[in-house]
Every structure is written in C-alpha cells, then in structure tokens.
C-alpha cells in the first residue's frame, strides 16, 4: 500500500498556529485544547483526557493484533515569576531546560492568575550601554530580569498590576516559514504533534485506517520529565515516542532526515521495535538516520520508569539548535510523518 500524500500547506499552518499558542509546562492547556479541537473533526477518533490533562485519541479498528501507541508533547520550555524586585521588574525561575543566554532581549507575556496578559522583555540587569561598562556578567536567573511594558518602578506597583509569584511567563516563539525551513522556539515538540495530526489527516483523506487499534497520546508535562508516565493503556504492546532529533557537532542527525534514536541519557531503546521501524522505513523509502543523543530524555522513558511494559522506540525530525532558536526543514518533517503512517499501516 502506498503512503497517502501529505498536505504540506495544512501541516505548516497547523504547526505555525500551534507554535503561536503559549504553553509552558504546567500551563499547556490552551495548546492541548487546540489539538483536541482539531482532532475532534475526525469522527473515527475517540477523545478523552487524563486527570493530568493529557489528550488521548483512540483510533479503534477490528484486529487480532495488540494495540500500539504514539506520543508527542505539546508543552514547552518557559518560566514562572520567582520574585518581584524592588524596581518593579521580575526575576524568573525557568521551566525545563531553557538556556538563559538565548532569551536575552526576547519578548514575553506574563499571564496573571486573573487571566490578564502583560507584555514585557527579558534583559540583563545592567542593560544600558551608556551606563554600565561590564557586559560580561553571566546570563542567568540572577542577572536577567523582565522589564514590564507598564508604568511600574516598585514592587507595589507591579503587584497592583495583578502580577504575583508563580505567574506563567511565556517566551515569544518567533515563528517564520521560509524556503522549506521553519524557524521557531519550541519546535521541540510541537513539530511532532503536527506529525501525528498530519498523519491522521492524510490517512483519513485517503480512506486508509491503521492495521490495529492505535492510541495517540499528547502529553503536557514532558519538559519536566513525567509527561507520559501515565495515560498509556495497559493493553498497548508498542509505544513510539515522536520527538525531535538532535542536530549538531558529533551527531548523525540532520534537518533533512527523520532519525531513529538508539540510545539517549536514559539508555538504549527496544532493539526489536527499532529493527521493525528500520525495516518499515526502508520498505517505504523513507530517508532516515540512526543516532545517539548525549543529553536527552523522552516521554517513552518516563512511561518505562513508571512501570510501563511495552516495547519502546523514539523517532523524529532533525531540529537544529534545540532548546534555543530552533529550526526544522520540511524534508525531515515529511519523512517523520511518512514514517508514522508507514508504521500504522504495517
């Protein structure tokens, strides 16, 4: 069976829209709800939520084969307000592994408990070049602050705006699609959520169904290590995590292929399922590479550590500059979507 055609226009628009929804871990509900609304268009899917807020989409088919599952996460890096400084500016505590130097001068939204949004930007606390002669201060949570676009020069004035400790702070994604590339923060892992949604759309449009029942798990706590620790049904025999591939010096992955991760910080993945995925990719002429990721953990491993008894593998598109200003290419994104569809068809 040939693989269905991917609607690249749809894929790109869905991904851009998803990237533009602020969703740091702990505050990812708007992004999960956006995916849920999109998947509600497909009547063959049974949608539900976990108590933790993850989205489960079940595509049930008649088959003697045990069900499988795929997971991708909609939560991203971000921050919360750690301190309101005496000058009215904010000190942050990061969510996930955001690299502080990469967000200097970035625009942010601060979301208050009452639902208001206040604009601001991240600056070093000695930002003015006409005053300070020491630009070599470390870029970290002690020296970076949020300058609010509001009339405030004191803690009291900032609190009067409705801002409190623990409020969500979301960094601008700065999405741009150009020349086949998509540049944005948080392609990890919204690009792979788009892979799953595009696969569902393509198969549905082509009148195709999976060979067995499949669960699509959209998690919301991956960036802090426990996203898919719950929510994968016990009947699932195989779990494929769809998450970004690491691109950079010493890595085999690139932006133009999908990648099968053989090992990451948590150890090796399941050899049998890895072999199966390689054979599927080769059968369908899907361009892929294999790689080892030095500083990386996945939702699938969270499920393993929680006692999940499944064969587990990890695939995904190459993403340059992970946890920084990331970039992907449609070649790698399409390869991953095709790999997902080929897996479901075998």
Number of neighbouring beta carbons within 10 Å of residue 282: 10
Q: Calculate ∠ Cα 13-15-21, nearest 5°.
A: 105
Q: What are phi and psi of 241, to 5 degrees?
A: -80, 130
Which of 222, 223, 255, 326 is flagged as catalytic?
222
**What pLDDT is attached to residue 345?**
97
The tens digit of pLDDT for each residue in 195-206 reads 999 999 999 999
237 band by pLDDT with thresholds 50, 70 and 90: very high
pLDDT at 287 over 90: yes
Structure tokens at 297: 């953990």
**Own/partner pairs for 86-89, CB < 8 Å, 24+ apart?**
86/154, 86/155, 87/153, 87/154, 88/148, 88/152, 88/153, 88/154, 88/155, 88/157, 88/158, 89/125, 89/145, 89/146, 89/147, 89/148, 89/158
pLDDT at 281 over 70: yes
The average pLDDT across 219-244 equals: 98
Lowest average pLDDT, out of 119-128, 178-187, 227-236, 277-286, goes to 119-128
**What pLDDT is attached to residue 68?**
98
The average pLDDT across 207-214 equals: 98
User: Could you give the CA distance from residue 95 to residue 223 in angstroms, rounded to a whole number?
Assistant: 8
Structure tokens at 316: 């995904």
Task: Assess whether 29 carries a catalytic annotation.
Answer: no
Q: What's the start-to-end Cα distance of the chain, in Å?
A: 9
The average pLDDT across 37-49 equals: 98
**What pLDDT is attached to residue 103?**
97
User: Could you give the CA distance from residue 259 to residue 239 in angstroms, rounded to a whole number?
Assistant: 16
Number of neighbouring beta carbons within 10 Å of residue 176: 11
The tens digit of pLDDT for each residue in 1-35 reads 799 999 999 999 999 999 999 999 999 999 999 99
Q: What are phi and psi of 288, to 5 degrees?
A: -145, 165
**What pLDDT is attached to residue 135?**
65
The average pLDDT across 49-65 equals: 98
Q: How far is CA 217 from CA 48, 57, 232, in A?
A: 10, 7, 7
**Own/partner pairs for 204-209, CB < 8 Å, 24+ apart?**
204/42, 204/44, 205/4, 205/7, 206/4, 206/5, 208/1, 208/4, 208/345, 209/44, 209/59, 209/61
127 band by pLDDT with thresholds 50, 70 and 90: confident
The tens digit of pLDDT for each residue in 128-153 reads 877 876 567 889 999 999 999 999 99
- 3-state class of 101 per DSSP? helix
Q: What is the pTM of this model?
A: 0.97
CB 68 within 8 A of CB 237: yes
Structural domains of the chain, with CATH: 8-76+186-345 (3.40.630.10), 78-171 (2.40.30.40)
**What pLDDT is attached to residue 60?**
98
User: Could you give the CA distance from residue 325 to residue 337 in angstroms, rounded to a whole number?
Assistant: 23
Paired residues of 290 in beta bridges: 260
The average pLDDT across 55-62 equals: 98
């Amino acid at each position: 069976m040939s693989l269905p055609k991917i609607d690249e226009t749809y894929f790109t628009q869905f991904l851009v829209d998803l990237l533009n929804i602020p969703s740091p871990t702990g505050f990812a509900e708007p992004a999960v709800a956006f995916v849920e609304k999109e998947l509600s268009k497909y009547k063959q899917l049974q949608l539900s939520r976990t108590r933790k807020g993850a989205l489960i989409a079940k595509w049930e088919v008649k088959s003697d084969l045990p069900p499988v599952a795929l997971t991708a996460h909609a939560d991203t890096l971000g921050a919360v307000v750690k301190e309101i400084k005496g000058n009215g500016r904010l000190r942050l505590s990061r969510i996930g592994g955001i690299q502080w130097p990469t967000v200097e001068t970035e625009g942010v939204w601060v979301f208050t408990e009452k639902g208001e949004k206040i604009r601001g930007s991240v600056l070093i606390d000695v930002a003015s070049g006409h005053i300070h002669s020491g630009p070599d201060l470390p870029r970290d949570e002690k020296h970076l602050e949020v300058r609010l676009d509001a009339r405030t020069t004191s803690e009291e004035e900032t609190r009067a705006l409705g801002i409190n400790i623990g409020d969500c702070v979301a960094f601008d994604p700065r999405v741009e699609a150009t020349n086949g590339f998509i540049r944005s923060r948080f392609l990890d892992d919204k690009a792979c959520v788009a892979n799953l949604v595009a696969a569902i759309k393509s198969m549905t449009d082509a009148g195709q169904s999976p060979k067995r029942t499949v669960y699509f798990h959209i998690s919301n706590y991956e960036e802090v290590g426990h996203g898919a620790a719950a929510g994968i049904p016990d009947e699932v025999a195989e779990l494929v995590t769809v998450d970004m591939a690491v691109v950079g010096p010493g890595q085999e992955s690139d932006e133009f292929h999908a990648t099968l991760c053989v090992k990451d910080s948590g150890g090796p993945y399941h050899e049998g399922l890895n072999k199966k995925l390689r054979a599927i990719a080769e059968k369908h002429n899907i361009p892929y590479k294999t790689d080892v990721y030095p500083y990386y953990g996945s939702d699938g491993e969270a499920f393993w550590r929680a006692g999940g008894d499944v064969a587990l593998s990890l695939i995904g598109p190459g993403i340059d500059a992970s946890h920084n200003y990331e970039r992907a290419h449609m070649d790698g994104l399409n390869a991953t979507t095709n790999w997902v569809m080929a897996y479901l068809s075998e």
